[in-house]
Amino acid sequence: MTSEQGPAMASKDGGRATGGELSVAISNRMVRLLRQYTGRGPTRARTTVGRDHVLIVLQNALTTGERTLAEAGFGDHVMLTRRRYQEVMRPEATSMVAELTGRAVIGFMSDNHMNPDLGVEVFILGPDGGTGELAEGDST
């Protein structure tokens, strides 16, 4: 992870980060955000930026306490708590992705999987103009 924080990360040439630099910046900021809200961030995060979406796959994100509860048969409670974290994080997470990509986030979906310990964060991006609609010619 990098220690990048603050406004949108600049690329090496001084412009907005793109490609691999953008993916790393988003992964790092999401790990920090999860650590801030849950007390522990995932050990691995991989971000893929597509034409109209950002997908973050997280591994090994559950806390020791959450794993203990799941092993005791309370996995449904752990998943409910994780959903609540995601609801509370939504404004900051969508703002972070919008800031780093330079595009409006028009949709956000998030979920977790218990075994194996996986999570996903999916952000749907508006067109470059920020109208909140997908670009013409995109499938619905």
Decide if 117 is inside a domain. yes
Which spans in the chain are helix H?
19-38, 64-69, 75-101
Decide if 61 is inside a domain. yes
Decide if 67 is inside a domain. yes
Of all residues in the chain, the percent with pLDDT exceeding 90 is: 76
Mean pLDDT of the chain: 86
Decide if 72 is inside a domain. yes
Give 15's Cβ-side CA count (13 Å radius).
5
pLDDT digits (tens, 9 = 90+) for 40-95: 999 999 999 999 999 999 999 999 999 999 999 999 999 999 999 999 999 999 99
Decide if 86 is inside a domain. yes
Decide if 130 is inside a domain. no
Decide if 3 is inside a domain. no
Strands 53-59 and 118-125, by their bridges, are: antiparallel
Range of the domain at 66: 19-125
Give 22's Cβ-side CA count (13 Å radius).
19
Domain tally, the chain: 1
SS3 103: coil
Give the closest residue to 83 by CA, choosing from 40, 112, 47, 123.
112
Decide if 6 is inside a domain. no
Q: Is-above-0.95 flag for pTM?
A: no
pLDDT digits (tens, 9 = 90+) for 86-133: 999 999 999 999 999 999 999 999 999 999 999 999 999 998 755 555
Give the closest residue to 4 by CA, choosing from 62, 82, 17.
17
